[in-house]
Structure 1
Amino acid sequence: MSQDEPRNDVVIAGRYRLGKRLGRGGMGTVWQAADELLGRAVAVKELHVGEGREATGALREARTVAQIKHPHVVVVHDVVEDDGRPYIVMELVEGGSLADRLGADGPLDAGETARVGLALLGALSAAHDRGVLHRDVKPANVLMEAGTGRVVLTDFGIARLAGSTTISETGAFVGSPEYTSPERMQGATAGPASDLWSLGALLCAALTGESPFHRDSLGGVLHAVVYDEIRPPVQAGPLTPLIRGLLERDPGRRLGVAQAQRLLSAYVTTGSLPLVDRAPGPTRPAGPAPTPPAPAGYSPTEHVTAAAGTARGPGSRTRLRAELVAALAVAAVVGAVAATALLPERTGGGGQVSAQGGRSTGPSPGPSTSAPQSPAAPPSGGATATATTTVTAPAPVAPAHPVSGKPAPAGYRFVADPDGFGLAVPQGYRRTTDDQRVFYVSADGAIRIGIKVTAAPPGGPLAAMRQSDENGPSNNPGYRDSSIVPTTHDGLPAALWEFTWNGFTAAEGPRHTFDLCWDQNGRMYDVWVSAPVGRLTQARGHFDAALDSFVPVG
């Protein structure tokens, strides 16, 4: 008998006779069935779990889901166990999924998308009120009831109580990557906000036919979720602010259920969207403050790379994506990508580096008496405690990219740096240096693009970044949320390092750093961007532009 043929000879729990198979996913197989006790058609989901504690846990979680009563949540009639295998008995919703409808009829218009979104928000709100996260909100798990148009959120098969992680006990990835939030990609615990990110991706799919994070490989998907610029589809029209709010990478700033419901309710009834009230984000400084010389007693080697000049290499975002593919054992990548969600500030690129190319193991040098008077030049993180020097001579400006010939992106200019490289930097950024590194710094000193070029050290970029990470707490007060991802740049071995720390001053507040280094022709290139946490969007854009345009010279 084929898997799709009716299984009329199978009766579970003494009352549910299985019929044809309706669908199959990673977490279970769904059968149409007849409840012989009550004489009604039902859907029965056979869970793909093990025995013992795993099966018991699945049943317990299914019973919790059964307590959710909402018109847009599939009704769970029963939770049973038969021959050691758990089953969930649900209402049978006549009609296909949203994925089926998109495949057959094409994308929805903004009005229908808003109606679907509003229904799903109600379903998620009811689930979250009971402490249940769906964790797999996607078009295939949204049913569209024929004849009534009722929207039903189903397949809570991987739902967990709030506080669970994305990696199962067996190390498997839980959920659908194209609809999974950045914080869950980290393997970190996730809250209700993670379901709202998934809803934002689903709304984009409803408007266009596919997730905005769809790529040709799993590594590409992971990179897109964590790094790529998020552009709501043009089809979103007036729903664009809502989608932007749901696809905010920082879960603390993501739109909440109540806010999103208010916006969609207004749109469904009036055809227009009121102003978006963003969810309160983390405390930020009132404004970017100039960074004074580091206080005596410590040397926050901003962007210190452990390997001799762990140069965070200019890598295009596309290449980084490819690199993640190579580095991917799903659980490993998920963990590695973790830090990317917050894009923490790294001490990588200009790190304390020994003359041999390895990171210095000695104490971090204290600030020089000739520390820069401008916030543009951070304290030196080099191997030797030489004085920081500000270079006033600007780098030559190139009208176009020296290799591709393309004009600089809007708001940027190409510079041919005298230290042997070229890249695009924002208009108005000025060049400074210390004894080991080159910086391009914003007018207010708050955002710094750093570049370091050294001889390639033993162990390569990954070893360099790991050593930098080990020295992070001593070099950066409040060092936290760090992650290192092995990757490639232009097909060459590379490493991506991110972290956050307390910043130079209390007035400025915490900072994040993005840092990429790679080996090329016997040299290690390290490129990083450091910025206050309140300006991460700017920083990410500058980081991408620098990596996409970087060209070694000589």
Structure 2
Amino acid sequence: MTDEDRLLAGRYRLTRQLGRGGMGTVWLAEDTLLGRRVAVKKLHVAPHQDDEERTRLYERTRREARSAARISHPGVIVVHDVVEEEGRPCIVMEYVPSRSLGDVVREDGPLAPGDVARSGRAMASALRAAHAAGVLHRDVKPANVLLSEDGERTVLTDFGIAAASGTTTLTRTGEFVGSINYAAPERMQGGESSPASDVWGLGATLYEAVEGVAPFRRSSWVETAYATASEPPRPMERAGVLGELIEGLLAKDVAERLTLEQAEEWLAGAAGTVALPSQAPWREPVRAAAAAAHRPAAAAAPSG
């Protein structure tokens, strides 16, 4: 029997492949118990991987499910179940008829600024909910953003390398996890992930959504890393209303980078507009608050 029509855990019947990535394949499946469609993520395990690598991969998959399950938000994929298949964990998730933002940009071209603003606002809200639950996504990129077919939802998915508070790392010394085109400069330089790193990923994702290409992509890993750390993003030609916001999200200094709260406020004001007003009421308060939001608590004036 091929994977198609395979029954997992005596309950989930695989029907067709939805997508394939580096770590796994996502299938559309029927939940035969509840009579509903679900998405099932099955791991890829290479023959050359040793037992330690496989154990780490399996635990990363279980952690992905736990991380997503901690977050209750319409902009985060819902995890229903984790089942074992041939000793490997498989994640059972809600099925959202959709295309990834990456596929939309590649197949249809860049989105209009107003559309990007609406999706970006949902992404910022979803990331805020994740951070409030103690979860860092660490791989925010167009491929991990789903745009529903009905246009009603923007959903953040694939928490495969998420980091939850109170857990140990699953990476080896010197190993970089994530997608180089959307990774923050502090991560390139060996620093720890933080909420600000997800903010950078949001900025790089919005940039690609509206411009059609990642802001620092070069022909090699080394050149991309250097550009991310040392060069400004390519000048934006289509961003319009979103240009200054994206620049704020892609500030190389974490202390100068906008926060998700500020991004969400900005995007709420930008959604549906055609051009940036010269005196947008939501613009200056957002920009003026950026440094204060990142200021260490110890620097604040004592109360009373």
Q: TM-score range by the shorter chain?
A: 0.7 to 0.9
Report the counterpart of residue 221 of structure 1 in structure 2.
224
Match of 1:27 among 9, 23, 38: 23
Code of the aligned partner of 1:96: R
CA deviation map 1:462-493 (0-9, x unaligned)? xxxxxxxxxxxxxxxxxxxxxxxxxxxxxxxx
Tell me which of 4, 7, 11 is aligned to 1:7: 4
Q: Is the 8 A contact 1:167 1:187 kept in 2?
A: no
Mapped partners of 1:215, 1:57: distance in 2 = 29
Whole-angstrom distance in 1 between the partners of 2:181 and 2:145:
16
Local SS of the residue matching 1:107: coil
Deviations 1:369-394 (A, max 9, x none): xxxxxxxxxxxxxxxxxxxxxxxxxx
- Which residue of 272, 279, 292 corresponds with 2:291? 279
Q: Is residue 265 from structure 1 mapped to residue 268 from structure 2 by the alignment?
A: yes
Report the alpha carbon displacement of residue 60 of structure 1 after superposing the two structures with TM: 3.8
- Equivalent residue in structure 2 for 1:140, among 140, 143, 146: 143
Give the distance between the partners of 2:221 and 2:97, measured in 1 at CA. Answer: 33
Whether contact under 8 Å (1:135, 1:158) holds in the other structure is yes
- What is the alpha-carbon distance in structure 2 between the residues aligned to residue 105 and residue 223 of structure 1? 30
Q: CA deviation at 1:108?
A: 0.8
Q: Deviations over 1:137-171 (max 9, x none)?
A: 11111111112342111111221215889982275
Alignment partner of 1:251 is 2:251: no
- Residue-pair matches, total: 279
Cα contact 2:27–2:39 (8 A) shared by 1 = yes
CA–CA distance in structure 2, aligned partners of residues 144 and 122 of structure 1: 15
What TM-score comes out, normalization by structure 1 length? 0.47
CA positional deviation for 1:51: 4.2
Matched-pair contact (CA < 8 Å) for 1:68–1:126: yes
Aligned pairs for 1:65-464 within 5 A = 65-162=68-165, 168-169=171-172, 171-268=174-271, 272=277, 273=280, 274-275=283-284, 276-277=287-288, 278-280=290-292
Q: Work out the CA distance in 2 between the residues paired with 1:203 and 1:138.
A: 9
> Contact 2:120/2:206 (CA < 8 Å) preserved in 1?
yes
Q: CA RMSD in A?
A: 2.5
TM-fit CA distance, 1:132: 0.8
Residues 232 and 240 in structure 1, CA contact (< 8 A), matched pair in contact too: no
* Whole-angstrom CA distance in 2 between matches of 1:252 and 1:19: 48
Given that 2:68 and 2:77 are in contact with CA atoms closer than 8 Å, whether structure 1 keeps it comes out as no
Larger Rg: 1
Which structure 1 segments of 5+ residues have no match?
284-554
| Distance in 2 of aligned mates of 1:90 and 1:67 | 14
Residue 228 of structure 1, CA deviation? 1.3
Alignment correspondent of 1:37: 33
Greater share of residues in helix: 2
Where does residue 311 of structure 1 map in the other structure?
A: none
1:18 lines up with 2:18 in the alignment: no
Task: Give the C-alpha shift of residue 53 in structure 1.
Answer: 5.8
Q: Which has the higher contact order (CA 8 A, sep 6+)?
A: 2
The normalised TM-score by structure 2 is: 0.83
How big is each residue's C-alpha offset from its partner over 1:182-227, in whole Å with a ceiling of 9 and x where there is no partner?
1111222111110110110111101111101111111111111111
Query: 1:133–1:159: 8 Å Cα contact kept in structure 2?
Result: yes
